[in-house]
Copies of this chain bind each other. A is one copy, B any other.
Amino acid sequence: MKIALAQINYHIGNFESNKSKIIDCIRKGEYEGADIVVFSELAISGYPPRDFLEFRDFVEQCNSLLAEIASFCTKTAAIIGLPTFNKNPKGKPLYNSAAFVNDGKILSYTHKTLLPNYDIFDEYRYFEPNSEFNVIKFKRKKIALTICEDLWNVQDNPLYTINPMDQLIDQEPDLMINIAASPFNYHQTATRKEILRKNAKQYSIPLFYVNHVGAQTELLFDGGSLVMNSAGELVDELSYFEEDFRIFDLDKVTSDDCPVLVGAMRSEIEDIHDALVMGVRNYFQKLGFNKAILGLSGGIDSAVTSAIAAEALGAENVYNVLLPSRYSSDHSVSDSVEMVKNLGMPYDIIAIEEAFNSFENLLTPFFKDLPSDITEENLQARTRGIILMALSNKFGYILLNTSNKSEAAVGYGTLYGDMNGGLSVIGDLYKTQTYELARYINRIKEVIPENIITKPPSAELRPDQKDSDSLPDYPILDEILYQYIEQRKGPREIVAMGFEPALVDRILKLVNTNEYKRYQTPPMLRVSTKAFGMGRRIPIVAKYLG
């Protein structure tokens, strides 16, 4: 039996596009001699469809499309993920299903059993869990078909009491197929491979695994679909961060002399880089835009954002605007100009002084003799924000947000100012990771001028300002933030790790009292195990550590 894995970049709710990609792969599979083409979880709808699933019309369209796609499966079978209706009067209205299609017809459905409902996952909001287990018989083989999380109870996961493969193995399947929508984070690729390996070994049959690839707003899917033999050895894996299609011969995979991969592991920073490039590219493509604008400050964050955007969209499509004020240092402009010239990106310099002055004039009668404070700093950031949005509106460019995770965490940014943008590119990277990414970007030649990487970070909103005036050094800040955000450690636990109690209290308080700012920030490309956004839900009006 020849099994094709179709690793596709779907577009949520774009039924025409998803359908034509699926049909193309079915045709390709047929042409290249595949017996069956396997698509990923919720392929027809795209993943995650979220509350579109509450629209009967949406789910009906998915099912109509499946019927249409089935008519193309006359010579080649297919397994395709989609939401289906639960016809039982009890339970949630939908199933997260995999349709098995052959002879031009829909032959059976397999429903997902283990429904993740943590972090970025809300599957229990929509889906009824499966409770019936049947292998699929095809070409004199028995296929144990499962959907994503269904394989994640192999290590005695405390969240689940059922293990679907334990049910299916009694029916003596010859192989496992798992269709997935497993989002990327910089630990996930290794974790996922380990879980899959344990399944293959535990059940001693080969495993064919198909993941999504591509960006869905904040969620990034890295692909990496794969085949493992019954010893849990990697026979092959598909591309990372791009679409792919490959056909495998089951006989070869099960033969004793099937070669296995001992490929080099990708580095975390390489993964992060490729994930962000894909994230920016897909965000623009799927929204129908091709040009970005951003404010280039001379600092590390906007430099890294600009470089990533240039790689994603082409340097000529990234419009860099330098917006110096009376507090900007000379090197802010010269470093930025060097940077845009390194990549050949378009740029302009717009001094904000005139607009800033006009606000000061307007407001002086109301501010009276009150001293200058954070208000005037915010005013500069917001003047820049307005100018960038005006250019964005006039030319149809999407504004990229350049904030990093350390800033977003402690509220070191101006709402409606530098926190503006359609998409935050590095909002899930701590400052220290941003430096690491800058070094990676410069791995072959200097893209980001060395001075941008080495000078002390500053917002340049008042004379001689430095980030270190109001924040601890970033390595310390980032470690405290990581323990609190990613590891969900409380203050006592973090102090017990050796950090100063007053500092820990101050940082955690900053994180919690700035929730109101993060509520209004753009979506951030998620690369960590706990990103700001859909996977982290904190009340604004609360007093915990606040």
Q: Which residues of A contact B (CB under 8 A)?
A: 11-15, 17, 46, 48-52, 54-58, 60, 89-93, 117-118, 122, 124-125, 158-159, 161, 215-217, 282-283, 286-287, 348, 350, 352, 354-355, 357-359, 361-363, 366-367, 370, 373-375, 378-379, 382-383, 385-387, 389-391, 393-394, 415-416, 420, 422, 488-493, 516, 519-523, 534, 536-546
Within the complex, the shortest CB–CB distance from A487 to chain B, in Å, comes to 10
Q: How many copies does the complex hold?
A: 2
A391 contacts across to B, CB distance below 8 A: 363, 366
What are 17 A-to-B residue pairs whose CB atoms are below 8 Å?
A: A11-B542, A11-B543, A12-B541, A12-B544, A49-B542, A49-B544, A55-B544, A89-B158, A122-B537, A287-B541, A355-B355, A358-B358, A379-B390, A382-B389, A389-B415, A415-B420, A416-B420
Q: Output the nearest chain B residue to A542 by Cβ-Cβ distance.
A: B12
Residue A370 contacts which of B50, B354, B394, B516 (CB distance < 8 angstroms)?
B394
A519 contacts across to B, CB distance below 8 A: 522-523
The answer to whether B361 touches A354, judged by C-beta atoms less than 8 angstroms apart, is yes
A359-B387 in contact given A124-B124, A158-B90 (Cβ < 8 Å)? yes
State A539–B357 Cα separation when bound (angstroms).
40
Within the complex, the shortest CB–CB distance from A402 to chain B, in Å, comes to 15
Known: A55-B488, A216-B539. 7 other contacts (CB 8 A): A52-B538, A90-B161, A358-B358, A366-B394, A375-B390, A382-B390, A415-B420
State A117–B523 Cα separation when bound (angstroms).
24
A522 contacts across to B, CB distance below 8 A: 519-520
State A420–B393 Cα separation when bound (angstroms).
18
State A522–B415 Cα separation when bound (angstroms).
11
Q: Output the nearest chain B residue to A379 by Cβ-Cβ distance.
A: B390
A488 contacts across to B, CB distance below 8 A: 54-56
A422 contacts across to B, CB distance below 8 A: 516
A539 contacts across to B, CB distance below 8 A: 12-13, 48-50, 52, 216-217
The answer to whether A91 touches B389, judged by C-beta atoms less than 8 angstroms apart, is no
A493 contacts across to B, CB distance below 8 A: 57
A352 contacts across to B, CB distance below 8 A: 362
The answer to whether A540 touches B520, judged by C-beta atoms less than 8 angstroms apart, is no
The answer to whether A492 touches B217, judged by C-beta atoms less than 8 angstroms apart, is no
The answer to whether A359 touches B520, judged by C-beta atoms less than 8 angstroms apart, is no
Q: Output the nearest chain B residue to A519 by Cβ-Cβ distance.
A: B523
A416-B394 in contact given A46-B542, A542-B52 (Cβ < 8 Å)? no
The answer to whether A91 touches B159, judged by C-beta atoms less than 8 angstroms apart, is yes
State A382–B389 Cα separation when bound (angstroms).
9
A420 contacts across to B, CB distance below 8 A: 415-416
The answer to whether A375 touches B363, judged by C-beta atoms less than 8 angstroms apart, is no
State A538–B54 Cα separation when bound (angstroms).
10
State A488–B56 Cα separation when bound (angstroms).
8
The answer to whether A378 touches B390, judged by C-beta atoms less than 8 angstroms apart, is yes
A491 contacts across to B, CB distance below 8 A: 57
Residue of A60, A352, A382 most packed against chain B (CB within 10 A): A382
The answer to whether B393 touches A389, judged by C-beta atoms less than 8 angstroms apart, is no
The 4 closest A-B pairs by CB, nearest first: A57-B490, A13-B544, A14-B543, A358-B358
Within the complex, the shortest CB–CB distance from A61 to chain B, in Å, comes to 8
The answer to whether A366 touches B350, judged by C-beta atoms less than 8 angstroms apart, is yes
Q: Output the nearest chain B residue to A386 by Cβ-Cβ distance.
A: B382
The answer to whether B542 touches A13, judged by C-beta atoms less than 8 angstroms apart, is yes
Residue A390 contacts which of B55, B158, B363 (CB distance < 8 angstroms)?
B363
A534 contacts across to B, CB distance below 8 A: 537
A55 contacts across to B, CB distance below 8 A: 488-490, 544
State A375–B367 Cα separation when bound (angstroms).
29
State A275–B161 Cα separation when bound (angstroms).
42
State A117–B383 Cα separation when bound (angstroms).
42
